[in-house]
Amino acid sequence: MTKSNNRESQYPIEPLFLDRWSPRAFTGEVIEEAALLSMLDAAHWAPSSANQQPWRFIYALKGSDDWDKFVALLVESNQEWAKNASALIFVVSKGFNGDISEGRKSYTHSFDAGTAWGYLALQAKLSGFYAHGMGGIEHDKIRQTFDIPEGYRVEAGIAVGRLADKSVLSERNREREFPSQRKPLSEVAFNGKFIAG
């Protein structure tokens, strides 16, 4: 097993997987665009079905003219803390292969985009930042704001920032500002069978 960040795996793994977590307390400092592009570069080296690379990233940097517009596209409970991030990203995936007129739907576009987000989160940690995924985003407004056509799926948001002291958070968020645990591996990994639950 491996121990790190108040977490313990059941089998030996790289500490990086335990060290990555999703804080909400961010410093609100400005990030160099190149630092964010390193994370997005790592993300786009993710594997994908037939190397279709269906992930798309729309981003804004803290301090830019776009910042308030991006914050407003999060649900209120996420706005509260994510406004102090250094970058906000919306992940969109392309739901068809090739040209839309060819009508070849992709089965794996969301799965592939999820892999890319995972890579981004790991690169963020390696670069001294944290990435926090958000399902709580205004999907329809994002589609309208960025003119995202049919066939593309608005997947999730990501807040990227440097860790701050949890005193910057509301009481509710302060109480849940710690690295979470996981179910026992035996509840999710089955040798030769499937167990629903």
Ligand X SMILES: Cc1cc2nc3c(=O)[nH]c(=O)nc-3n(C[C@H](O)[C@H](O)[C@H](O)COP(=O)(O)O)c2cc1C
> Does 21 participate in binding ligand X (rule CB under 6 A)?
yes
Q: Residues with Cβ < 8 Å from 48, sequence gap 6 or more?
A: 54, 55, 108, 112, 115, 116
Longest dimension (CA), the chain: 53
Structure tokens at 29: 């400092």
Q: How far is the CB of 92 from ligand X (least distance, A)?
A: 13
Report the 10 Å Cβ neighbour count for 42: 19
Region from 31-39, 57-65, 133-141, 187-195 binding ligand X, contact rule CB under 6 A: 133-141
Rounded Cα distance between 37 and 33, Å, is 6
Rounded Cα distance between 146 and 138, Å, is 12
Q: How far is the CB of 162 from ligand X (least distance, A)?
A: 16
Looking at the Cβ atoms of 97 and 142, the one nearer to ligand X is 142
Radius of gyration of the chain (CA): 18
Rounded Cα distance between 115 and 68, Å, is 28
> Does 15 participate in binding ligand X (rule CB under 6 A)?
no
Which residues ranging from 57 to 96 are in contact with ligand X (CB under 6 A)?
78
Which residues ranging from 167 to 186 are in contact with ligand X (CB under 6 A)?
179-180
Q: How far is the CB of 15 from ligand X (least distance, A)?
A: 14
Q: How far is the CB of 182 from ligand X (least distance, A)?
A: 8
Q: Residues with Cβ < 8 Å from 185, sequence gap 6 or more?
A: 10, 11
Looking at the Cβ atoms of 128 and 192, the one nearer to ligand X is 128
Q: How far is the CB of 20 from ligand X (least distance, A)?
A: 7
102 phi and psi, to 5 degrees? Answer: -75, -15
- Whether 170 and 80 have beta carbons less than 8 Å apart is answered as yes
Q: How far is the CB of 105 from ligand X (least distance, A)?
A: 22
Region from 26-34, 51-59, 104-112, 132-140 binding ligand X, contact rule CB under 6 A: 132-140
Query: Binding ligand X by CB under 6 A: which of 5, 22, 49, 115?
Result: 22
Interface residues toward ligand X, by CB under 6 A: 21-22, 78, 133-136, 156, 179-180
